[in-house]
Structure 1
């Protein structure tokens, strides 16, 4: 048996990392997947991989900070696959700086990609979830506690966590559950980008990321399995929660 039989799912930030792993997992679990990313060729490659394995998918280039792109992603799901049941708002960026080194333009872009995108995608997706559905938003451990040299990222992910709670309250009577998954350090291209931004040696940075009770960073597949749980009927009585998946880091 599969966890998402006959469902239609949108995954943003689907070209790499957690988004890619989740799109592939959703497809294996029976969903038709719209893979959306600002990296259009990357999104198309994920969709092609799903189709090559016998699944159904569409790849869409989208800047999810732009409302017309968000509307187009939702329209693609409805027109291509007949509806929408699952939305995984995963697209995100990071700027590793203190407030003194962060420009107003960088602040605005982080908030646009990490927070505005969730608002816009939900604004267009919720009316399409006519029979109910599930929304999962990617927060972060740093959305639940502070972190060094990441002021815009921490603020944006805290906003995602509380936006999730507010959405869950507003739309529970519509049969729509809304939750956030909050990863710790995960071995993705974004983690390597953090090391680059901080001008740190990757080996040393990776060792620091592994400094948690389980002694290692997470993998995209591990986060994807947590997202699948929240998206599926296995979590039918779960809404408004912030699920931490971090190898014990916040513990």
Structure 2
């Protein structure tokens, strides 16, 4: 099984990579903005330097053989009200969260194996927008529409499309946002990246006969 993971350098992306690396025979490819010195990535992970804001870099990605799973973990996001958000913020969020995901999916679509799957890691804000995170919420709503729009075409090729809507996950991005609001960072109160990664791995297992179109995951105890 060949798996491609965007955002493989992030907290969730690394855990997703680890979950597949633990499976016998899995070939795991991680997309990162820049390849770090040896030892920064999990053993066995094949790294590719691909900036999702650069269409040419996406088109230059070359993989030998069919792709069984494409998992979109890359994301850009900060707490930002409508008044505070500038044009550059809107462009950054939509370029990474939507345009990059669409371009990567289209680029690899010709290599999707029979019964392959595409998983978009969205956010709870993709379903319920937040006035304190306007550009991010908007981009995640657009990502939901992207997944829903391409699903019929992908299904016709035998490819499943799943969107995962996690609540708050204990990653560095969430820590930054929590601290920016002056709140205490308590990572144990949020979804653990390892647990969410295991859920994503299970979704891939179902790809041969079941399509889970939407999966909503919330913390065991909501942190408010």
Which residue, 45, 56, 60 being the options, matches 2:48? 60
The 1-side partners of 2:51 and 2:111 are apart by 20
| Residue of structure 2 equivalent to 1:219 | 192
| Closer/same/farther in 2, CA of residues 64 and 142 from structure 1, 3 Å limit | same
SS in structure 2 of the partner of residue 99 of structure 1? coil
> Which residue number corresponds to residue 9 of structure 1?
3
| Pairing partner for 1:110 from 93, 96, 112 | 93
Q: TM-score, normalised by structure 1?
A: 0.81
SS of equivalent to 1:33: strand
Deviations 1:82-119, CA, capped at 9 Å, x for gaps: 32111001100112111111001111110000111110
Residue 72 of structure 1 corresponds to 60
Q: Equivalents in 2 of 1:179, 1:110: separation in Å? A: 21
RMSD: 2.1
TM-score by length of 2: 0.90
Name the count of aligned residue pairs.
220
TM-superposed CA distance for 1:199, in Å, is: 4.7
SS of 1:182's equivalent? strand
CA distance in structure 2 between the aligned counterparts of 1:155 and 1:9, rounded to whole angstroms:
28
Q: Which runs of 5+ in 1 are unaligned?
A: 1-6, 52-56, 211-215
Contact 1:11 1:36 in 2 (8 A): yes
C-alpha displacement of 1:226: 1.7
Kept in 2, the 8 Å contact 1:43–1:61? The answer is no
Cα offset for 1:130?
A: 4.1
In structure 1, which of residues 17, 23, 29 is the aligned counterpart of residue 23 of structure 2? 29
Note the residue ranges of structure 2 that are not aligned, 5 or more in a row. none
**Corresponding residue to 1:20 among 14, 26, 41:** 14
